[in-house]
Structure 1
Amino acid sequence: MNKRDTNLTDLLTRLEQHRDLNLGDKAGTAHTHNSLAHIKYLFGYYEEALTNLKKSVELTKDFYGDNCDEKLIVTYGNFAWLHFHMKQYAECQSYLEKLKEIEEKNPRVSTSALHPEVLGEKAWALFKFSRKYYSRAQDCFKKALELEPEDGECNAGYAIVLYRTETKCVSPEDSSALKQLRRAIETNPDNDELKLLLALKLAEFKLFDEAEDLVERALEMSPDSPHVIRYVGKYMRNYGSLDRSISLLKRALDVSPNSAFIHHQLALCYKQIKEKFREHPKSQTFRNLSISHFEKAITLKSDFILAMAQLAILYGEDGQIHRAEVVFETALDKTAQQKNEGVQALYLYYGEFLQYRKRDKHQAIKYYKDCLKMNPGTLDGKKSAKNLRKIANKRLSYNINDTMALGILEFIEQVTGEKQFTACEHPLESTSKHE
């Protein structure tokens, strides 16, 4: 893993929040301590790294009992590796001997890279380190499950990474994430976070009865868990009541005031209310509330690209053009330094800002094209194609031989594979000169 692929300070903050809030079971928290040990090592805090590894062992033994040597092979390997780098060679040798004893006592246990426990730990580390490594994490979880199909942690991890990476499917039968979430719940019946992810996935296919039953069960079983409440809030924002979503998210914020995710969800709630009641006297109040929570989210998570793009758009709507430009430029700088999620949305939003606030269609076209090239099948990709098509047809309504417009339509066709019609050929796409 490359340090340049993530913001280590933000990652450290997220892992410490996960640890402090006791999110997940003890086995999951043990994984968190292993990841924290690695980050502390990268910062040069060797003693703190050792403390986290010791805590990982303690939690693993609490969860699995004393006969859990197989579950500790990765942690013991981390101990040996860390002591070696600290030049504590006797301690390093001691852990290497422990690993050898475990292998001798348990013939089925291997400390090789193909052991399910090693694959699982590697998958969780990749998953937590950077979105850039999600595909590698997915492969590791899959390989681990081929060796241990009933492993609850790997089933959960595989489900979550599929949920995060799956693009929109046509039907439930096509959704690998939905199938794996069901499987993960079978092996983790008390994991309410998985139930909520399944609810959100079911809602995509309008299977609301089952989804709402899962939401109610999760909230009943974990009424004070900020991790659960934030997903319930997201479900309510997308498919239920905005008022209830805000109430739940505020409750979660009382428990976890430094959660960038919760501030982001609240910002989106207030943004939706603002858009729903554009002419309402309190529209500006809702915009201000949304801006405030977006600002807090990016303060807490400095590489939160999606939130930065959404904040910049609101600044633009509010007439704060210079502030919007600064935020957009900062976000673009960060995407140049390292791969961040939200880049496609950033290109779309920046294109719209350039087109409608700066009146710079030439630059807007560039970013719409960048957005479309990233993934033409997503909502952001489709919206960029629509915006490009509108610009092209507007120009063609003045001059049917406009080379720039024809070039735009040709580009869309090349990227999407869909035949593009000019304004004259396809009246539904035409745009009046007096529009």
Structure 2
Amino acid sequence: MSTVSRNSLKRSLLELECHFTWTLLKQDADLDSLEKRIENRTEFFTKNNVSNYNLLAYVCHLKNSNEEALRNLQKAEEEIKKNHPDEIPRRSLVTWGNYAWIYYHMENYEEAHTYASKVGNSCKKLSSTAEWKSEFPEICAEKGWALLAFGRKYYERAKNSFENALKNDLNNPEFNAGYAIAMYRLEELSYRENNDVSLSLNPLKRAVELNPTDTSIIALLALKLQTLNRAVEGERYIEEAMQKTPDLPYLLRYAAKFYRRKGEMDKALEILKKALAVTPESAFLHHQLGLCYRGKLLQLKRATRYPPEEQVKELIRLATFHFKTATVEKKEFFAAFMDLANMYTEEKRYEEAEETFQKAIQIHILFDDDKQEFCYHYGNFQRFHRKSESEAIRYYLKGLKIENDSYARKRCGYGLKKLLEQRIKRCSEDATDFGTLGFIHNLYGEKHEAIECYEKALELCPDSEDYLSALCELRLSISS
């Protein structure tokens, strides 16, 4: 094929609606973990397997396994023939688009052109307008599911994709489920930032109403009700769901989370062990087990002043084991690494804690609130266990300076303020302590307290242009 023809083919490929044109970036996903999750879904959810096999093909391509990618596309085709025999061209558009791209990357340009042409010809037959893409809600929905699978960076786009699908098919159970899940996940992130978390309630209710057999959605509705302090109502949904599909791991994981948050650790553990028997390599389940054992440890310590040492050791051992297993099964599992580091700290295994903290911060898929979470916990580790107040201050301050309004940032600010006040109470003559405390007061809008701190910092360090500049700005803001 000539260079001109190849460039022409590439242009036609870029017009296709498929995983290769949806900007699903390799660096934003833990591909090994994602591959396992999709494979599990193909086993337990038979309805949406065309989407699962298409996504699995794309993930295989990203892992440089194009032959395996083609095998998954063949499975997608088999699913289409079995479940949609009267709509094969319409239902195959994404699959054929993926075929075209994979053959292109394999330098089999003839096959790539054949599949690109199949998409183009089918679209002409299926639609009389040029804007054919927007007329196929199934493609919008499949894009939404793929975006959800690639993680939180993509949740807003996923929500928009499901909204587009719903414009053409308002009562479709699958589209409503996807939209509700996207809304729920976005609000889980908002919850970490103390924002309103009630907008997903009605979409979840609507999804359950349209498909009362989808117990994983019922479980999400229960968790949302629990978050909104309607736990009694939520528990009725959980119990109903567990009667319908008592062995579905995707329901069990959420049911366990519900009971863990309720404080019923033993019930949550029982459910998690049942789910683990079905999907033993699930990082999510191992992490939840670790959280339950840690929860039992906290309950034990609250219940008695001198908890039995052997019981404490066993709970720490179990929590540590499951957190560590979660990090093995999912190499980019930030929360599990942080929980494991804190559990090592609990055992006074400080070298292992240090090593685990460093692994956590080196994960390449980190968001601002993750970095703030790290700064808070690592600051605590330095302050209370390494006895290094200067390092604790450095990390609390680093977390505070990341301009993202999260709960972790508030904790960094609280920890830093308390530590500085303690140091000053001990008659600290360090200008930096007063300057940093002035910065915190100013950040919280406490201008008079900030001025006092900067004045004291200048007394101790008269040549500091930073303190003088901050003080002048504060005085001007009060007088203006």
Length-normalised TM-score, structure 2: 0.79
RMSD of aligned Cα (Å)? 3.0
* Larger Rg, first or second structure (1 or 2): 2
Change (3 A) 1:291 1:54: same
Matching of residues 108-257 of structure 1 within 5 Å: 112=133, 115-166=136-187, 167-168=190-191, 175-257=198-280
Worse overlay, 289-298 or 168-177: 168-177
- Is 1:339 aligned with 2:342? no
- Is 1:321 aligned with 2:321? no
Change (3 A) 1:201 1:57: same
CA contact (8 A) 1:199 1:211 kept: yes
CA contact (8 A) 2:332 2:365 kept: no
The one-character-per-residue Cα deviations of 1:360-409 (angstroms, maximum 9, x if unpaired) are: 22222333234345576543233222212211221332459864344444
The one-character-per-residue Cα deviations of 1:163-187 (angstroms, maximum 9, x if unpaired) are: 2222139999862222222232233
Q: Helix, strand or coil for the counterpart of 1:168?
A: helix
Matching of residues 13-412 of structure 1 within 5 Å: 13-19=36-42, 21-22=43-44, 24-27=45-48, 29-67=49-87, 69-107=89-127, 112=133, 115-166=136-187, 167-168=190-191, 175-278=198-301, 279-281=306-308, 282-334=311-363, 337-339=364-366, 342-374=370-402, 377-399=405-427, 403-412=431-440
Change (3 A) 1:291 1:406: same
Distance 1:269 1:47 in 2: 42
The one-character-per-residue Cα deviations of 1:161-213 (angstroms, maximum 9, x if unpaired) are: 22222213999986222222223223333211111111111111110222011
What is the aligned partner in structure 1 of residue 20 from structure 2? none
Worse overlay, 163-172 or 342-351: 163-172
CA contact (8 A) 2:323 2:340 kept: yes
CA contact (8 A) 2:193 2:405 kept: no
1:58 partner letter: E
What is the aligned partner in structure 2 of residue 430 from structure 1? none
What is the aligned partner in structure 2 of residue 431 from structure 1? none
Unaligned runs of 5+ in 2: 1-23, 453-480
Q: Helix, strand or coil for the counterpart of 2:191?
A: coil
1:392 partner letter: L
Aligned residues: 418
CA contact (8 A) 1:171 1:205 kept: no
Distance 1:62 1:413 in 2: 65
Worse overlay, 353-362 or 320-329: 353-362
Distance 2:186 2:296 in 1: 28
Unaligned runs of 5+ in 1: 426-435
Length-normalised TM-score, structure 1: 0.86
Distance 1:171 1:327 in 2: 28
What is the aligned partner in structure 1 of residue 461 from structure 2? none
- Identity, % of aligned positions: 34
Q: Helix, strand or coil for the counterpart of 1:176?
A: coil
